[in-house]
Structure 1
């Protein structure tokens, strides 16, 4: 067994997914029928996995030598994935409605990790996957073109938010939106005729029309809506799946993460990394004391930015020392993914990680860094060369053997600062 450095060139990688304590819908597999010109190619299957505080998703995701695609392995007997119907050898095609078969493996892993307590997966059985590849099929064409709801943030003008709400009299939670042409809602990406699912991060399924109107009024000058077009709403409704913001298309949002690529100068990068609290007891790594004219300022770094990823790897959950090690891993250059305070506050307000919404066009997770110890509250990650006999039981042992570095005590954390 050989443990490699980083994702690039890995023959296999494996991750065990952990869970947050929230309720969700526990649905069986749901499939989308497709006629593939009469060939012996099966149908994609959809699974909405919702975890509890004491569960794991119950599977591992592999990239294997001589085996194409992102491979579902080690489905735990009696675990959540097996109960829903995931099978050993299935190939993962979609995560939260986003096609991932063409993505680098570590980016797919990151998307599942960022999903938190609930993830929507589309898979194809291994034989059908290999048959489709052999026939030169475009696997993305086997899936619906767009099954993502849309997350939109609206700032009202003098005439209001630019939309009106209608619904059946006396029926709770069914609200359709009419959007004024060239109004704030249309400019924010709300499609006319779409269905309202969440308001400011909260479901409207139990709201009456009067209650919804009151909540809109209490929103002040800004409101965030999760909406679904008719076809998207129908897709989930017919399959008994709950639509949540974790599945959303966020391309219309004004809140973005930024990539900062820096090459170290004679005086260093020119910034200070500081660990501090940023709400609800969470601890993050922040950028301060940016020196004028040095690489950090030239790359667009702003004071108060929070670091999300270093050299393509998420640092959410890592302590200060581990983050410093990742920055130092490439001695002469570093790429940081950061978010400004206003954008950070928005994602916290809806209870989601901004890393969840990085699609294949985003620059965030493309580069690699040598493997470093995992934080004590996140899943173990291991990169392994699979031998001719396959992974075997030693694979899980390897994944669980990573050294854990304990975070410093809370009273010490605010004093952690490191200049670069």
Structure 2
């Protein structure tokens, strides 16, 4: 981990497990070839793919002069270096989402939840400074690289109606192996879930359909019975992705009607603490260790914030903790003072996202604290201890328990740098 002058401690991103279903064979730099009024101000799109145990290989910091996001210290042999990211590049979009001038911590959390694939739209420093001097709108520049009629792919969950079924038909495109389009009944579950007739089917229940025959697709739909989750895109937008050599993946999608979502809870400590236990347990039938919220006291701050017994803890004050050591999580909450922000998800919810091969935080947009000036950045470590968390009293029992507050510290007017 490195840090630059005037910056808070850098934050290293957690490692991700490689998902071959979403693999990209060539994470090379892709440059948009759309004609622009000023050819010198064409943003370029960089595709990064990490392998298991590998970082993206660059730092991200706020440029104090413009408040834009700046790429720093790119490792030439890393995914960032191979993608074409360069020192001084200014970030306009992350995964097709406009982030220019967005809070750095929020952008960092978006990157943390995206898995092994990252897509960054940037301008060179000189191009960016020229655009600023001309008073150009950065979002307009970003959109211009995609074409006039463009939208992100949609990840849609369709629940079967007892009388009308799913309300969709998957049709093979004649002469194009592995290509399928959707035909949707009016007012059907599929239409209500966000799927439209003529949409291209890209992905179903975590599997890219380009490798599937129509008969296998039909079996997948029947096997899942009550519901299916599909990734679709309209034909014009698909053309934009093909032209830009950009794979269509869930990480680039907008979320439509997914049945489970992460929950962010803002807790303020009461006279008896927060009113819950944090335990490290094994998921039933697996060897996987998880951090579980237990024994939520009736009438406690935890209960009032919506905490439910058995939910899995994903983040503390916006920092991912799934891979952290139990004692480190306890320490983080204790250091928070009298307030803490916890993000959790139910076990069925986590199972749902695991089957899809995506993070339950990919579409979770409740990361922003009630006070954005309060942030904590630190590193993740691994270990497998089991200790309940409850009170913050100076007792031996409380040393393994937790009832503390927000993992925050005042950082007014500071510049942050995060290592990815």
TM-score band by shorter chain is: 0.7 to 0.9
Q: Which residue of 2 aligns with 1:418?
A: 401
Q: 1:186 aligns with which of 167, 179, 191?
A: 191
Specify whether residues 85 and 366 from structure 1 end up closer, same or farther in structure 2 by C-alpha distance, changes over 3 A only: farther
Deviates more, 1:279-288 or 1:343-352: 279-288
Deviation readout 1:246-289 (Å, 9 max, x if unpaired): 22211432322222112111121111111123375432221111
Deviation readout 1:304-334 (Å, 9 max, x if unpaired): 1112221222223112111112222222111
Q: Which residue of 2 aligns with 1:305?
A: 311
1:32 aligns with 2:8: no
Task: Give the CA deviation at 1:130.
Answer: 2.0
Q: 2:156 aligns with which of 152, 159, 162?
A: 152
Q: Once superposed, what is the RMSD of the aligned Cα atoms?
A: 2.8
Task: Give the CA deviation at 1:117.
Answer: 1.4
Q: Which residue of 1 aligns with 2:239?
A: 234
Q: Which residue of 2 aligns with 1:62?
A: 61
Q: Which residue of 1 aligns with 2:357?
A: 351
Specify whether residues 254 and 102 from structure 1 end up closer, same or farther in structure 2 by C-alpha distance, changes over 3 A only: farther
Specify whether residues 54 and 3 from structure 1 end up closer, same or farther in structure 2 by C-alpha distance, changes over 3 A only: closer
Specify whether residues 256 and 107 from structure 1 end up closer, same or farther in structure 2 by C-alpha distance, changes over 3 A only: same
5+ unaligned residues in a row in structure 2: which ranges? 390-399, 404-420
Q: How does 1:36-185 map to 2 (within 5 A)?
A: 38=38, 42-53=41-52, 55-66=54-65, 68-144=67-143, 147-157=151-161, 158-169=163-174, 171-185=176-190
Q: Contact between 2:11 and 2:377, CA under 8 Å: does it hold in 1?
A: no
Task: Give the CA deviation at 1:239.
Answer: 2.4
1:248 aligns with 2:221: no
Q: Give the SS at the match of 2:272.
A: coil
Specify whether residues 275 and 19 from structure 1 end up closer, same or farther in structure 2 by C-alpha distance, changes over 3 A only: closer
CA distance in 1, matches of 2:288, 2:253: 24
Q: Which residue of 1 aligns with 2:294?
A: 288
CA distance in 2, matches of 1:370, 1:212: 46
Deviation readout 1:374-404 (Å, 9 max, x if unpaired): 223xxxxxxxxxxxxxxxxxxxxxxxxxxxx
Q: Contact between 2:3 and 2:10, CA under 8 Å: does it hold in 1?
A: no
Q: 1:323 aligns with which of 329, 347, 359?
A: 329
Specify whether residues 370 and 30 from structure 1 end up closer, same or farther in structure 2 by C-alpha distance, changes over 3 A only: closer
Q: Give the SS at the match of 1:357.
A: coil
Deviation readout 1:162-203 (Å, 9 max, x if unpaired): 111212345321110011111111111112211111111011
Using the size of structure 2 for normalisation, the TM-score is 0.82
Q: Contact between 1:26 and 1:49, CA under 8 Å: does it hold in 2?
A: no
Task: Give the CA deviation at 1:234.
Answer: 1.3
Q: Give the SS at the match of 2:68.
A: strand
Using the size of structure 1 for normalisation, the TM-score is 0.82
Task: Give the CA deviation at 1:225.
Answer: 0.6
Size of the alignment, in residue pairs?
A: 379
Q: Contact between 1:112 and 1:119, CA under 8 Å: does it hold in 2?
A: yes
CA distance in 2, matches of 1:365, 1:166: 47
Structure 1 runs of 4+ aligned residues shifted over 6 Å read: 414-417
Q: 1:198 aligns with which of 179, 198, 203?
A: 203
CA distance in 2, matches of 1:170, 1:414: 59
Q: Which residue of 1 aligns with 2:380?
A: 375
Deviates more, 1:234-243 or 1:145-154: 145-154
Specify whether residues 16 and 407 from structure 1 end up closer, same or farther in structure 2 by C-alpha distance, changes over 3 A only: closer
Q: 2:383 aligns with which of 400, 407, 414?
A: 407
Specify whether residues 362 and 107 from structure 1 end up closer, same or farther in structure 2 by C-alpha distance, changes over 3 A only: closer
Task: Give the CA deviation at 1:98.
Answer: 0.9
Specify whether residues 320 and 78 from structure 1 end up closer, same or farther in structure 2 by C-alpha distance, changes over 3 A only: closer
5+ unaligned residues in a row in structure 1: which ranges? 5-9, 377-405
